[in-house]
Chains A and B, each alone.
Chain A
Amino acid sequence: MSVEVTEQSPPRPDAGKQPLVRLSGVKKFFPVTQGILFQHRIGDVHAVDGVDLDVYPGETLGLVGETGCGKSTLARVIMRLYDSTAGTIEFQGRDVTHLKGKELRALRSDMQMIFQDPYASLNPRKTIGSIIGAPYLLHKTVAKDKIKPTVQELMELVGLNPEHYNRFPHEFSGGQRQRIGVARALALKPKLIVCDEPVSALDVSIQAQILNLLEDLQAEFKLTYVFIAHDLSVVKHVSDRIAVMYLGKIVEMTTGGTLYENPKHPYSGALLSAVPIADPELARARRRIILEGDVPSPIDPPSGCRFHPRCPQAQFPRCSAEEPQLLPQHPGQFAACHFPLEDRATVVGDTPA
C-alpha cells in the first residue's frame, strides 16, 4: 500500500502548534465488485478522498456534513478501525498508520469512541458493570478486585446510579444508555474521544443533558473531542473549530462563530440556512438556500469541484474543470471554493423590529 501523498498538500490551518492527531492526505476507498464466482472490481466508493486535518489537544473539533459525506468513515479511520487507503495518521507526533497487534491495542487506550445508537452499541446480554469494566480486563490497567469500585466511580461521574451495576441495558432509557457509552469510553482515561452523532437519537431535553455532561468531562479530564453530527446547531454549540465535509473532502474549516456569521463556502451557507430555528419570526425572516437534489454518488464523484452540480453559485467551465484547494479566506478560515461567498453574507436575517 502506498502512503505517498501525490497531490500538493494545501497549507495547514494553525501550522506551528503540536497537534494531537494529524491526518495527511488520508483516503479511504471501499471496493465495488461485480460477479458472483469471479468478483471483479468495477469501481471504488470514494468515502474519504484526501483529507488533511489537525486536531489540537483540549479542543473540540466538529465534523458536519450530510449523510454519505464520509464523516463517520473519517472518524473510523482516525480510530484505526478502518485501514486508510492512502495518507498518514499521526497521533502525538508518532506515525500510527500501520500499527498492528500489541502496539495498536496500546494506542486504543488513548483513543475511544462514543457511538450514535445507544441501543445497538451495548451488548444486551451483559450487565452494564461488565460493559463499562471490559476495557480494564482487556488492558489490565486495574487489578481484578478493584474493577467494581472503579466502574462504580465512573458510573457516578456520568450521572448513573452506582447501585445499578448489575442491571442490563434494556432497563435503561436512551439517555442513560448513552451515559453508559460515555462511561465505557472514559474507562481507560483516553486523550481523544471520537463522538459519532452521540445525541442524534435522543430527545431534545435529554440531548442537552448529554451535551452538558460531555462538556463537564472535557474540562475535568482535559479531553480532546472529535464531534460528528449532522445538526449544525449542536456542532456549533460544542465545537471550537468546525470542518464541513462534502463527498469525502473538507470544503470549509473555521471556528464555530465564524462559520455561522460569515460562511465562505456555498455549501456551508446552504447547510446553515437549512437548520431549523426555534423562533418563528427569525426562521421566516432568513434567506433560505434550498439545495436541489441529493448528494451525488461517491463512486463516481463529479469532476472539478464536487459541489458544482448543486451549487447555486457555480460558474462554468471553471467549477466543473478545476478542483478548488482548501485556501485561507481569513485568518483561521479556510474554504475550498473558486467563488467563495461574499463577506457577511449572513443567512439569518436580523430580527424584524
Chain B
Amino acid sequence: MPQPLLEVEDLTVHFPTEDGLVKAVDGISFSIQQGETLGIVGESGSGKSVSFLTVMGLVNQKQAHITGSVRFQGQDLLTIPAEELRTIRGAKMSMIFQDPMTSLHPFYKVGQQIAEAIRTHQPVGKAEAWDQAVDMLGRVGIPRPEERAKQYPHEFSGGMRQRAMIAMALSLNPDLLIADEPTTALDVTVQAQILDLIDRLKSEFNAAVAIITHDLGVVAEHCDNIQVMYAGRIVEAGDTNDIYYKSHHPYTWGLLRSIPRLDSATNERLKPIQGSPPSLINVPSGCPFHPRCPYVMDVCKVERPPLNPADGHHASACHLTLTDKQRIFSEEVLVHR
C-alpha cells in the first residue's frame, strides 16, 4: 500500500473546562489515501468535527491537550512550526464548513475573498488572482462568474455561497478537501448538486475528500470508506458496503434504523436509538454506548471494547461475537430497511 496522504494515529483532543475535562476526541486512528473519499458519520458531539479541526490546526495546544500524531504527506502537523503549517493549510488541504452564511465575510466581494486566498499562497498579482477567482467560480457552476465575483455574499443564495466556498477551497488545488457537513443547511435538490460537484471536482483535481456528516443517507453514494464515531471514538470503520450491508456495531444499526425510508411500503414505525448522546466529561465506563445499547452485556459496562478488524479492513468496537453481530444485523436491521 502506498504511503497514505493523511495518517492520524492515536489522536486525543481534550478541552479543559470549568466543569471538567471534555474528552472530545479520545484516541482515534485512521488514514486517507490519495484520491479516496472518506465519510465520517456521527451525532452532534461525537468528535467528528473536532478531530478534523485538529488536523487543520484550527484547534491547537493553546486551547486543548492534544496527543498522538497527525502526519500529512509525511509531515507531523502537530509539531511543525505555525508558519510552516500556514503554507500547508489552505494550499494543500482546505476545509469547507456547514454554514455558508457565516463563513464568507459580508463586507468583501466574493471574488476578492477568493483572490485573497490565492494571493496568500501564490506570488501572483491582484489582477491575475482575480481572474483565477472568476475562473474558479465558473468551474463550480456559478453562472456569469464575471458579474457574480463582483457581488457581495448577501446577494448569493445558500447553494451559491456553498459553491463559492468550494471554489475558494479548491482554488489552490489542494490534495485534501475536508467538507464539514457541507449540505446540512441546504435543500435536498441543492444538496444533490453540491455533492455531485464535490465528486466531479475530486476527480478533476485528483484530491482526497473527507465528508463529515450526521446523515448516513448523504454519504452512501459518494464515499469509498466510512467511519462511524461515537463519544470521541471510532466505533466502526469499513468500506461503504461493509457499513450499509454488513454493519457490525449496534450504534450503526441504530442510525440505519432511524432513517425514514422513501421506499418502505408501509409507514412502519421508526426504531430510534433510546436516550441522548453521553456527556463527554463523564463518558460512561466500558463501552460508551452501553447505556443506550439494546444488546448490552455485563462485560460492556466495565471493559472498553477495542476496534477489532473482523475481515481484514472492516473493524468494529463491540463485545458481541461476530456470529451474533451477523445474526442480529440480518434478522433485525436488514429486514426493516
A-side interface residues toward B, CB under 8 Å?
A: 66-67, 173-176, 203-209, 211-212, 215, 230-234, 236-238, 256-257, 260, 270-280, 282-284, 288, 290-291, 293-294, 348
Are A205 and B217 in contact, with the CB atoms below 8 A? no
Interface of A is mostly: helix
* A-binding segment of B90-98, B262-270, B301-309, B317-325: B262-270
Q: B interface, how many residues as a size bin? A: 35 or more
Bits for B230-259, please: 1 = Cβ < 8 Å to A, else 0.
Answer: 000000000011001000000000111111
22 contacts between A and B (CB under 8 A): A66-B188, A67-B187, A173-B276, A203-B214, A207-B258, A208-B272, A208-B273, A212-B270, A232-B188, A233-B260, A237-B270, A274-B188, A276-B215, A277-B263, A278-B259, A279-B244, A279-B337, A280-B220, A280-B244, A290-B189, A290-B196, A291-B193
Closest 9 CB pairs of A and B: A208-B272, A276-B217, A237-B260, A274-B192, A208-B258, A208-B270, A205-B273, A283-B221, A209-B272
Are B260 and A280 in contact, with the CB atoms below 8 A? no
Docked CA distance A293–B255 (Å): 32
Chain A residues with CB under 8 Å of B258's CB are 204-205, 207-208
* Given A203-B43, A272-B262, A278:B240 Cβ within 8 A: no
Docked CA distance A284–B240 (Å): 12
Smallest Cβ-Cβ distance to B258: which chain A residue:
A208
Are B254 and A205 in contact, with the CB atoms below 8 A? yes
Chain B residues with CB under 8 Å of A272's CB are 262
Which B175-207 residues have a C-beta within 8 angstroms of A? 187-193, 196
Docked CA distance A56–B337 (Å): 30
Are B261 and A233 in contact, with the CB atoms below 8 A? yes
B68 CB-CB contact with A under 8 Å: no
Docked CA distance A273–B189 (Å): 8
Are A236 and B260 in contact, with the CB atoms below 8 A? yes
Smallest Cβ-Cβ distance to B264: which chain A residue:
A237
Are B159 and A294 in contact, with the CB atoms below 8 A? yes
Smallest Cβ-Cβ distance to B156: which chain A residue:
A294
Docked CA distance A233–B258 (Å): 12
B74 CB-CB contact with A under 8 Å: no
Are B216 and A204 in contact, with the CB atoms below 8 A? yes
Are B220 and A278 in contact, with the CB atoms below 8 A? yes
Docked CA distance A276–B244 (Å): 14
Docked CA distance A208–B216 (Å): 14
Are A283 and B220 in contact, with the CB atoms below 8 A? yes
B157 CB-CB contact with A under 8 Å: yes
B-side interface residues toward A, CB under 8 Å?
A: 43-44, 143, 157-160, 187-193, 196, 214-218, 220-221, 240-241, 244, 254-265, 267, 269-274, 276-277, 337
Smallest Cβ-Cβ distance to A351: which chain B residue:
B263
- Name the distance in Å between B100's Cβ and chain A's nearest Cβ: 13
Are A203 and B44 in contact, with the CB atoms below 8 A? yes
* Given A232-B262, A236-B260, A291:B189 Cβ within 8 A: yes
Are A276 and B43 in contact, with the CB atoms below 8 A? no
Chain B residues with CB under 8 Å of A291's CB are 189, 193
* Given A173-B276, A205-B273, A293-B143, A66:B43 Cβ within 8 A: no
- Name the distance in Å between A32's Cβ and chain B's nearest Cβ: 15
Are A204 and B189 in contact, with the CB atoms below 8 A? no
Docked CA distance A207–B189 (Å): 21
Smallest Cβ-Cβ distance to B292: which chain A residue:
A205
Compute the total of residue contacts between A and B using a CB distance below 8 Å: 133
Docked CA distance A242–B190 (Å): 21
Docked CA distance A123–B159 (Å): 31
- Name the distance in Å between B161's Cβ and chain A's nearest Cβ: 11
Besides the contacts A276-B192, A284-B221, A348-B263, what 13 more A-B pairs have beta carbons closer than 8 Å? A176-B276, A203-B43, A205-B255, A215-B269, A237-B270, A238-B267, A271-B188, A274-B192, A275-B188, A278-B217, A280-B240, A291-B193, A294-B190
Docked CA distance A277–B263 (Å): 9
Chain B residues with CB under 8 Å of A274's CB are 188-189, 191-192
Chain B residues with CB under 8 Å of A175's CB are 276
Are B189 and A66 in contact, with the CB atoms below 8 A? yes
Chain A residues with CB under 8 Å of B215's CB are 204, 276
* Given A203-B44, A290-B192, A233:B262 Cβ within 8 A: yes
Chain B residues with CB under 8 Å of A66's CB are 187-190
Are B276 and A277 in contact, with the CB atoms below 8 A? no
Are B188 and A276 in contact, with the CB atoms below 8 A? yes
* Given A67-B187, A203-B43, A233-B259, A278:B244 Cβ within 8 A: yes
Smallest Cβ-Cβ distance to A235: which chain B residue:
B260
- Name the distance in Å between B165's Cβ and chain A's nearest Cβ: 16
Chain B residues with CB under 8 Å of A293's CB are 143
- Name the distance in Å between B271's Cβ and chain A's nearest Cβ: 7
Chain B residues with CB under 8 Å of A234's CB are 260
Chain A residues with CB under 8 Å of B267's CB are 236-238, 256
Docked CA distance A233–B260 (Å): 6
Smallest Cβ-Cβ distance to A67: which chain B residue:
B187
Smallest Cβ-Cβ distance to A234: which chain B residue:
B260
- Name the distance in Å between B269's Cβ and chain A's nearest Cβ: 6
Are B188 and A211 in contact, with the CB atoms below 8 A? no
Are A348 and B188 in contact, with the CB atoms below 8 A? no
Chain A residues with CB under 8 Å of B196's CB are 290
Are B276 and A204 in contact, with the CB atoms below 8 A? no
Docked CA distance A282–B259 (Å): 15
Smallest Cβ-Cβ distance to A199: which chain B residue:
B260
Docked CA distance A290–B199 (Å): 14
Chain B residues with CB under 8 Å of A237's CB are 260-261, 264, 267, 270
Are A231 and B270 in contact, with the CB atoms below 8 A? no
- Name the distance in Å between B252's Cβ and chain A's nearest Cβ: 11
Docked CA distance A288–B241 (Å): 21
Chain A residues with CB under 8 Å of B160's CB are 294
